[in-house]
């Protein structure tokens, strides 16, 4: 028997990369080298019907087993994806998760898998991690619950949740470390070329200074963040939003006390700060990834905003970069 047994429940149109990141951490920790033998860890994809499950990318995954007895697993991981699918979990799967919870088996929500667990009534009284991108979607569906959107994952007793994407690998590594030791977890992340991170590592998101209820400003901010490596001109943003430049600038001034250009610059500086602290990437690469013309341009803007250069910032360990959960408005993309 493996020392760590994990079952996966895949929501319809689940996120493939979140599943892949989680499974690969287990796979690499389970054996010596990169031989993929499930010796220390074992994992199965479960389903009540055994029909292929389509991911949000269209690639389908064939389940390994029917649901059966949940007690054969140490963890059950629910991988979500598109928000519109979270309420369509098969009733047999919901009952399976309820039995697992009653037996004290740890339940894991990945991406919108946290939504699925909440919808099943299995997160009452627990803290839950939700991506800043889905923060509003969560609040619309669950009254009285405040999700955590400034960490990459949250562990609250026998409920573990994460924001998805690479955070799925970090959460899987936490579980591997808990059961198999630090060396096995570090090995997996090293082979996957993923930097180690603690639960408290902030999600890359919007700076707190840009929190606003103004729907137009929020849509513009989302467009800025989604194009952070190749910044859109303000003319392109107003064209996309279907408003005049004067109107957009007025909304930014009233909501944030700054211009759209200043907000865009702040987003890119904050992302650069996050990457300087959370990764080992070179400053030149970070400059490219955050939309600066080149490294000297990033240094100039960074010094004007922070009073020090990126190199000094990184070496000083001024590290915890606070971000807020500023999700998109409903219907934006």
101-124: per-residue pLDDT in tens?
999 999 999 988 998 999 889 998
In 140-247, beta strands by DSSP E: 153-156, 159-162, 206-207
Nearest Cα residue to 109 out of 10, 195, 3: 10
How many CA atoms are closer than 13 Å to the CA of 222, on its beta-carbon side? 21
% residues pLDDT > 90 (the chain): 57
Answer yes or no: are the C-beta atoms of 10 and 76 closer than 8 Å: no
**Neighbour-count burial of 91, counting CB atoms closer than 10 A to its CB (0-12 exposed, 13-18 middle, 19+ buried):** exposed
Location of structure tokens 């389970």? 30
71 touches 105 (CB < 8 A): yes
26 pLDDT band, cuts 50/70/90, is very high
The pLDDT tens digits of the residues spanning 150-186 come to: 678 999 999 999 988 889 999 999 999 999 999 999 9
pLDDT tens, 278-304?
788 899 999 998 999 999 999 999 999
* Residue 190, pLDDT above cutoff 60: yes
Task: Specify the pLDDT at position 52.
Answer: 96
Integer angstrom CA distances of residue 132 from 46, 89, 185, 274: 28, 23, 26, 15
Query: What DSSP designation does 148 have?
Result: B
Q: What is the token pair recorded at 53?
A: 């499950």
Query: For residue 110, what are the β-bridge partners?
Result: 79, 162
Q: How far apart are CA 232 and CA 13, in angstroms?
A: 30
What's the rounded mean pLDDT across residues 73-99? Answer: 89
More confident residue, 277 or 6: 6
Interacting residues of 115 by C-beta distance below 8 A, sequence separation 6+: 80, 83, 86, 109, 130, 134, 137, 138, 141
Report the predicted TM-score, pTM, of the whole model to 2 decimal places: 0.68
Q: How confident is the model at residue 257 (pLDDT cuts 50, 70, 90)?
A: very high
- With residue 249 as reference, give the H or E element that holds it: helix 245-256
Average pLDDT over all residues of the chain: 86
What's the rounded Cα separation, in Å, for the pair 141 and 147? 12
């Amino acid at each position: 028997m493996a020392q760590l047994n994990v079952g996966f429940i895949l929501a319809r149109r689940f996120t493939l990369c979140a599943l892949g990141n989680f499974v690969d951490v287990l796979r690499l920790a389970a054996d010596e080298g990169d031989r993929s033998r499930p010796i220390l860890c074992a994992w199965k994809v479960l389903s009540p019907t055994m029909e292929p499950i389509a991911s949000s990318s269209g690639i389908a995954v064939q389940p390994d087993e029917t649901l059966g007895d949940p007690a054969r697993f140490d963890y059950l991981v629910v991988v979500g994806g598109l928000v519109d699918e979270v309420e369509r979990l098969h009733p047999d799967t919901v009952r399976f998760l309820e039995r697992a919870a009653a037996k004290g088996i740890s339940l894991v929500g990945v991406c919108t898998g946290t939504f699925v667990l909440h919808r099943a009534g299995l997160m009452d009284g627990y803290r839950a991690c939700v991506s800043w991108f889905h923060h509003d979607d969560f609040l619309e569906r669950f009254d009285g619950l405040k999700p955590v959107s400034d960490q990459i994952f949250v562990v609250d007793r026998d409920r573990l949740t994460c924001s998805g994407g690479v955070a799925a690998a970090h959460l899987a590594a936490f579980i591997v470390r808990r059961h198999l030791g630090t060396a096995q977890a570090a090995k997996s992340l090293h082979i996957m070329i993923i930097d180690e991170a603690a639960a408290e590592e902030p999600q890359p998101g919007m700076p707190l200074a840009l929190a606003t209820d103004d729907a137009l400003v929020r849509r513009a901010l989302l467009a800025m963040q989604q194009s952070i490596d190749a910044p859109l001109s303000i003319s392109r943003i107003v064209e996309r939003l279907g408003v005049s430049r004067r109107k957009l600038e007025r909304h930014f001034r009233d909501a944030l006390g700054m211009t759209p250009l200043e907000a865009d610059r702040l987003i890119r500086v904050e992302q650069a700060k996050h990457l300087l602290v959370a990764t080992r990437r070179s400053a030149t690469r970070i400059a490219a990834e955050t939309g600066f013309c080149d490294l000297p341009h990033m240094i100039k803007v960074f010094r004007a905003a922070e009073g020090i250069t990126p190199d000094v910032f990184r070496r000083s360990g001024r590290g915890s970069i606070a971000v807020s959960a500023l999700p998109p408005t409903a219907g934006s993309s």
